[in-house]
Structure 1
Amino acid sequence: MEFLRPASWREALEAKAQYPDAMPIAGGTDVMVELNFDSRRPGELLDLTRVPELAEWAPDGPELRIGAGVPYARLIDELGDQLPGLAMASRTVGSPQIRNRGTLGGNLGSASPAGDGHPPLLAGEADVEVESVRGSRVIPAEEFFTGPKRNALAPDELIAAVRLSPATGPEQFCKVGTRNAMVIAVCTFAIALRPEIERVRTGIGSAAPTPIRAREAEDFLAEELDWAGRGALPDAVARRFGELVTQVASPIDDVRGSADYRRHALSVMARRALGWAWHEHCSGRQECA
C-alpha cells in the first residue's frame, strides 16, 4: 500500500487525479476500522491531514463555508451557536477522542445511511463543495447520497467543504441507539424551523438506503403551525407529523433493530423534536398560547 501525503490542496487534487482509487483519510475514524478488519485494502492511502485549507471555516457571503477537515469537536465549540442542529448531532458522535479526530467530510465521504451528521445537513439545506483538477462544483446535500455507502463524487474528486446558512430558527436532533453513547444510530431525526418563511425542513438517518427528507411532513407543518401567533402545538398535528415522517421511511431489519422498531422510534422522535423546537419558537413570548 502506497502512502500519499500532500502538503497543499492542489497537491491533494493532483494526487487524486493520478490515483483515482486512492482512499482519502483525515481523522481515520471510519477508514482505520475498515483497514483493521480487512474489509477494504486500497492500493493507495491519501492522507489529507497536512492540507491546511481543509481545517478552516469562515463566513462566505450569507453562508458558512466549513472545510471538510474540521473535526466534530470544533463544530461544537466554534459553530454551536450558529448551527445548533449540527452541533447537537456532533455531540452524539463516538467518544471525545473520536470527536477530536472525526470530520464532517469523512462522514460524507463514507456516505453511511447512519451517519450522524447527515440529517442536520439535509434539514439545514446544506451544499457539498467538491473539487478536482478539472474544477469545482456544488452538490445539494440531499443529492449527494446515491446509495448505501455511495455518493456522487467522481473518481478524481475530493470533498472540499460544506456550505450552509446559519440557523434562523430553532433546530433539534434526536438519535436512538442500542446504548446511550458511543453507538451507531438505530435511527436519527433532525428538524429545522424557518419562521421567517414559515417553513420546516427535516432529515432522517438510518431508516432508508440513504439519508432522506420527509417532504410531505414538512408541507403539512407549514400549513398547520400558527407561525405568527405562536399558538400551542396541537397534539393532533404532532401525531400526524410523526405519521408522515414514518411513511417516507423504508427501514430494514438488522442487528441494531427491526424495521418496525425504527418506524415507531421515528414517529416518537419526530413528535418530540417538533415539540422541543416549537416550544423554543414560542419562548420568544412569555409563554405559548
Structure 2
Amino acid sequence: MTTPALTAPAFHRPADLADALAHLAEHPGAVPIAGGTDLMVAVNYRRARPEAMLDLTGLAELRAWSDEGDAIRIGSGVPYARIVAELATVLPGLAAASRTVGSPQIRNRGTLGGNLATASPAGDGHPPLLACGARITIASTAGTRTVAADAFFTGPKRSVLEPGELITAVTVPKAAGPQQFLKVGTRNAMVIAVCSFALSLDLDARRLGTGIGSAGPVPLRAREAERIDLPWADPRRFDDALAAEFGRRVAAAASPMDDVRGTADYRRHALAVCAARALRRVWAAAHTEGSGR
C-alpha cells in the first residue's frame, strides 16, 4: 500500500503586520508560523495539514521587546533564548521557565506567542504569565484587544483567539519581588512537564501570584493559596507548617488527570511539594540580610 501524495500548503510571507492581518482576514484558515516548533511536529506526524501558512519571521515589530516603565512588552515573535539572555533581571520567573523549554535549538526558535497560540496546558511559559498578571495583545483588521492571561485559555489547546486574529505581544509586569518557577518531568532536560508551578511575591503590595501548569484542562491560578495569611508584619513567624498549608491549597486548586506522564495523585503531590518549596524560597529571598526589606 502506497502513501498518498500530499499537497504542499500555500505559503505567504507578509511585508509587515498590516499585511499579515489583511491576509488572515481574507484567509482565516491560514496558520501563522514563527518558530514552528509545535506546528511542524504536528505537520511531520500528519496530525495537522494546514491549507496555508503565514510566515511571521520577517516581521520586526513582533520580534522586539520594549520597556514600558513598570512592565515589559514582549513581541509575540521574541524567542525564549532572548527572554533568558535579555530579560532575566526584570522577569526572573518567565526567564526561569524559558530556560526549561526544549533544547537550545528549540529555545532559539520557539516563541512566547507561539506557546500561547498553541494553548497547551503544559506550556512552560504559561504559569509565570498567570503569576505575574500578564496581559496578551491580540490584533485583527477590526482593531486590537487585550486579554488577561488568566482569561486567555478556554480549554485544552483552545483559547479566546478568533479566526483572523493574531497575538502580537505579551505585556508582563516587572518583578516586584522574588519569583520562582519549578517544573517536574520524567527527565532533567527536553521534557514536557508532568506539572509545573510559578510563584511571584510582591512585598510592597503584600500579594502572591500563582500559576499552575500541566495539572488541569487549562493553565490556572491557585486563588485560595494566593489568599493565605502570611506574616507580613513579622516575617520570623513564617514556618514550615505555613508553607505546607500553601502547598495543600495549590494542590487543591489543580484538576489533573492520569496520562502517560503521571497520575493525577502524583501531580497533586508534586504540586504541593513544589509550591511549599517555592514559597519558602521567595520568602527567604525577600527577607535575607541585605535584601533591603
Q: Same fold (TM over 0.5)?
A: yes
Q: 2:272 aligns with which of 262, 267, 271?
A: 267
- 1:234-262 Cα distance to aligned partner (Å, 9 max, x none): 11111111111111111011111111110
SS at match of 1:253: coil
Q: 1:197 aligns with which of 193, 198, 205?
A: 205
Alignment pair present for 1:240 and 2:238: no
2:86 corresponds in structure 1 to 78
Q: Report the CA distance shift for 1:161/1:14 in structure 2 as closer, same or farther (over 3 A).
A: same
> Is the CA contact 1:230–1:281 (under 8 Å) kept in the aligned structure 2?
no
Q: How large is the Cα RMSD of the aligned pairs? A: 1.4
1:276 corresponds in structure 2 to 281
SS at match of 1:66: strand
Q: TM (normalized to structure 1)?
A: 0.96
**TM-superposed deviation, 1:60:** 2.3
Alignment pair present for 1:227 and 2:235: no
Alignment pair present for 1:206 and 2:214: yes
Q: Distance in 2 between matches of 1:187 and 1:90?
A: 15
> Is the CA contact 1:114–1:205 (under 8 Å) kept in the aligned structure 2?
yes
- 1:147-205 Cα distance to aligned partner (Å, 9 max, x none): 00001011010000001211010000000001000000000000000111101010000
2:168 corresponds in structure 1 to 160
**TM-superposed deviation, 1:62:** 2.6
What's the % identity of the aligned pairs? Answer: 58
SS at match of 2:236: coil
Partner amino acid for 2:208? V
SS at match of 2:96: helix
SS at match of 1:146: strand
Gaps of 5+ in 1: none
Q: 1:42 aligns with which of 43, 50, 54?
A: 50
SS at match of 1:138: strand
Q: 1:114 aligns with which of 113, 122, 142?
A: 122
1:90 corresponds in structure 2 to 98
Q: Distance in 1 between matches of 2:50 and 2:218?
A: 24
Bigger CA drift: 229-238 or 262-271? 229-238
Q: Distance in 2 between matches of 1:252 and 1:23?
A: 30
Partner amino acid for 2:248? E
Alignment pair present for 1:8 and 2:8: no
**TM-superposed deviation, 1:284:** 4.2
Q: Distance in 1 between matches of 2:105 and 2:14?
A: 25
Q: TM (normalized to structure 2)?
A: 0.95
Q: Distance in 2 between matches of 1:120 and 1:284?
A: 26
1:185 corresponds in structure 2 to 193
- 1:22-56 Cα distance to aligned partner (Å, 9 max, x none): 11110010010000001011111111001110001
SS at match of 1:197: coil
Partner amino acid for 1:146? T
Number of matched residues? 285
Gaps of 5+ in 2: 1-8
Dislocated runs of 4+, deviation >4 Å: none
SS at match of 1:231: helix
Partner amino acid for 1:29? T
**TM-superposed deviation, 1:285:** 4.8
Alignment pair present for 1:32 and 2:40: yes
Partner amino acid for 1:264? H
Q: 2:254 aligns with which of 244, 249, 255?
A: 249
Partner amino acid for 1:132? S
**TM-superposed deviation, 1:227:** 2.1
**TM-superposed deviation, 1:228:** 3.6
Partner amino acid for 1:233? F
> Is the CA contact 1:231–1:282 (under 8 Å) kept in the aligned structure 2?
no
